[in-house]
Chain A
Amino acid sequence: MNISRRRLLQGGAVTGATMAIPGPLQRALFGSRPARAAGPTNPCLVMVQLEGGMDGLNTVVPVDDVGIHLQRTAYENARSSIELSLADLAGTHIGTDPVKGNTLALHPALADVKTLFDLGKVAVIQGVAYPNQNLSHFRSEDIWFSAEPVLPFSDGWFGRYLDSYYSSSDLVTVDVDSTLSKMFLCQLGCNVLAMKKLSQFELPDDDLHPDPVAKKTALETIYGVEADPGATTGLQNTVGVSGDVLIGKIDEYAAISTNWGSNLESVGGSIAKRLLEVSSIIRHDAVSGTPVGAKYFHVRQGGYDTHTNEGATTGRLANLFDDLGPALKAFYDDLQDVNTEAGSNVSDDVLVVLFSEFGRRVAENGGGGTDHGSASVMFAIGDCVNGGIYGEMPDIASPDSKGNLVHHTDFRQVYASIIDNWLQSPGDHLPLLPGAPWPTIPFL
């Protein structure tokens, strides 16, 4: 950790005290919960991106009307072929809306998430978006990645975090994807591994090089030169530096096993495969004597852009959740197994957060799907989470002029909660998130 830079960024005027008192509105929305007794020793963060715009309204669904809150009626009026019936939802009730009082249920394909919810391991955060919703996937993703809803994209919110707390030679972040998420893009040249599979992690082996040591030596020498600012500049140097870091890490990462009896092995779909890479790294670092030190992860499940055939209990959304729910449960179970294997509470240090660039239109469209919308729901999962439902579901009968749910919680409140209450200390989000200070949400 780069202490001096951290102090520099915090400056003198800003202290944690600014953030300590939630307003009455915040209390009304989120209630008050006791803070965790002690912070995590080695906080890990797994950001799960549900790409394409997850339909929050078919993810957490109202099952009744309460008083003036005719949420169920409004839901049924807006949706027909994709409507989840009361019978469909009978097995996945998770409790009541903290403000409106309506009973809420998860999509039935998320039964595994309901299991974790019942264990108190899941926080459901409702009504999340950003102001002046832009209905473009890519603009909206840029906003979520940068935490900057006004200016064009310049860097990632987590890239800024890495810039503040690490130096460019630290390698603490892995994106389980073919390319790097923009959430990690930074100004100071932080290094992030991006790779779909740990098994990719080796130098090519070929009989062209009867002496593999000579080859590796040559490559190390070359990248040592290329990374030297005296020998190269600009793009050449950038590539040289990242290659140099990569070659230096190859042997460490190649030693990580993904074949250790993970619960994820029996789960279908790409999201399980990607989470397997994460749980394997976490396990490796917990049980081996040579940790790689990766703590921050990004994984992605695509396909949520359900303009057509979104479906109810079957269809595109159900198919995605059929992969997602079991994968999240198996990942959680993996961490419990690692606890046993390592003889320590590794799982206390791992926070999983689910996000999507936007929710979808309240009313169903002509193709049995939904168009791009606004407010949606986020999930935080882990042994570290204060389980429960946070925030209220937006009023389904009163969408904005475009037919989209009106948000009440800015996504940066969730980021602020992660920074202040998980990764660092209260107030530490101030230099990192545009629009700060943001009230935190007590799900951690």
Chain B
Amino acid sequence: MVVWDEENVVHLLKRAGFGPKPSDTKKFLKRGHALSVEILVGQKPSKAKGPGKAVNDKAELRKLTGWWAKRMEKQNTRRLQEKMVLFWHDHFSTQFSVVKNVRRMSYQNRTFRQFGLGDMRTLLWEVTRDAAMLDFLDGDKNKKNSLNENYGRELLELFVLGVFSFDGSEENYTQDDVIATTRATTGFRIDRNKDVGYFDPGRFDDGAKTIFAGKPFEATGNLGVEDGNGALLPPATNILDVLFTHTDSSGNLTMPRFIGKKLWEYFAYPNPSATLIDEITVNFRANGYVISDLLRDMLLHEEFYSAAAKASTVKNPCEFLFGSMRALEAKSKHTNTAIALEDMGMELFEPPSVNGWSNGLPWLSSGQMLARFEVGQAIAAGRDKNLVLLKPSKIIPKNATTADEIVDEILHRLGVANITPAGTRTALIDYFEGETDFESETVIETKVRGVIALALQIPEAHIH
């Protein structure tokens, strides 16, 4: 049984979204644990799509980034849905610098919004025929008698199975399996007028293939994904479903453990036990691999609220920026957000490789830590409507008379009051008090902004 207190509410909202506004915390506290989680995971698919011209133009891409940033920062009921769009963008990592077409990126972004909480099979199919992905991993060049292994390999390695079994003792597939997967995913093309993918049976390698030869889950057939009319082929011989049948030598299904672990590490902490992952994937495995089932079981699990799960991972730049804005009730048109995120190492639509971003401590490399100091300062300055507008008068308690009250309010809003060391709090108070002229409102406001800037530079503001 999870105690439904403020600490756990804040923890949930930081992880399963982009952090709470003060009013969110109160609302979710009242709702109780089960209802809170249900509101987050139970969202219907959204077809919302950002601006996307069919051009290779960074300025146009930044419009798309700004549109998405606004959703991440503002969404209340759909906050987990947007978080999952970010997760899938990281998982099915695709680079604009290769795709060179903003419309294709915006379509892919919509795909994650529309299918990101649904079943794995559909999501994977949509990704397999996604124009940006076909372009990025050369799926459109992979055809009968002229194979290109790029997508087939990443499908096994990064998207569905992983190189090793959960405990690292077995390799999940061989080069022969890569080739079988590559042959099975031949035939997809891009309609260059519409910027959408489609299946061309004439390019499909229809020959018999065997994958996972000699294993209990060996499959033979043409293993194709679609028929010629845009419909999925039956599970028994569809390569996507065949991959889901893969197990380790003890019979544990590989995909649920792979995706379950990745979600747990993204939302909770690194290196979870197999037992834990098996627990949070019970319903996922039983009912057709629906992602919201997995998320629900994860967010309801007691371990998600354990001490080990708190202050256990570094916020990614979106979590830091949007979380700080929400906590401080700041506003933005988000036209400059793309640049701030880039500075902090998270250029949306341009992950560093097909393996996505390195989450966790790598976010706080020296250069990126300094970039975060800079962004923290910009949030506190709060004078750029395209990045952040912030009014300290909204934040300072009306009847505050001491530096302690102001510092405590800021730390409380940021959700770090309970973990900030006493010495850090004292340093912030001393900074505020190191001033003589408290008669001037301008001086006080500047000082409050200065304290906010420093509070956004303490370690606690960057972890959760």
Contact = CB atoms under 8 A, between A and B. Distances in A.
Contacts of B163: 134, 136, 138-139
Interface residues of B, number: 68
B454 A218 contact: yes
A218 B427 contact: yes
A246 B457 CA distance: 13
A366 B457 contact: no
A78 interface: no
A178 B149 contact: no
Contacts of A344: none
Contact of A200 (B371, B428, B459): B371
A199 B349 CA distance: 25
Q: Is the interface of B mostly helix, strand, loop or mixed?
A: helix
A6 interface: no
A235 B310 CA distance: 10
B367 A239 contact: no
A208 interface: yes
A402 B364 contact: no
Interface hub of B373, B427, B430, B463 (most chain A Cβ within 10 A): B427
Contacts of B143: 366
A210 B446 contact: yes
Interface stretch (B8-16, B211-219, B328-336, B354-362): B354-362
Contact of A225 (B146, B178, B424): B424
A240 B419 CA distance: 13
B362 A243 contact: no
Contacts of A369: 148
Interface residues of A, number: 63
A147 B430 CA distance: 49
A24 interface: no
A215 B148 contact: no
A291 B371 CA distance: 25
A236 B463 contact: yes
B364 A152 contact: no
A246 B370 contact: yes
Given A138-B157, A234-B311, A246-B369, A179 B358 contact: yes
A139 B355 CA distance: 11
A240 B148 CA distance: 46
B230 interface: no
A365 B366 contact: no
A222 B454 contact: yes
A238 B460 CA distance: 11
Interface stretch (A123-131, A190-198, A328-336, A426-434): A190-198
B138 interface: yes
A225 B458 CA distance: 10
Interface of A: 51, 134-139, 151-152, 175, 177-180, 193-197, 200-204, 206-211, 214-215, 218-219, 221-222, 224-226, 228, 231-232, 234-236, 238-240, 242-243, 246, 250, 302, 305, 307-308, 365-367, 369, 371-372, 402
Given A135-B178, A175-B365, A218-B431, 9 more contacts: A178-B352, A194-B367, A195-B365, A208-B381, A218-B427, A222-B454, A234-B312, A235-B312, A242-B366
Interface of B: 138, 141-143, 145-150, 153, 157-158, 163-164, 168, 171, 175, 178, 311-314, 345, 352-355, 358, 361-371, 373-374, 376-378, 380-381, 419, 421-424, 427-428, 430-431, 434, 446, 449-450, 453-454, 457-460, 462-463
Q: Which 7 A-B pairs have the closest CB atoms?
A: A366-B146, A195-B367, A225-B423, A194-B365, A239-B459, A231-B421, A204-B377
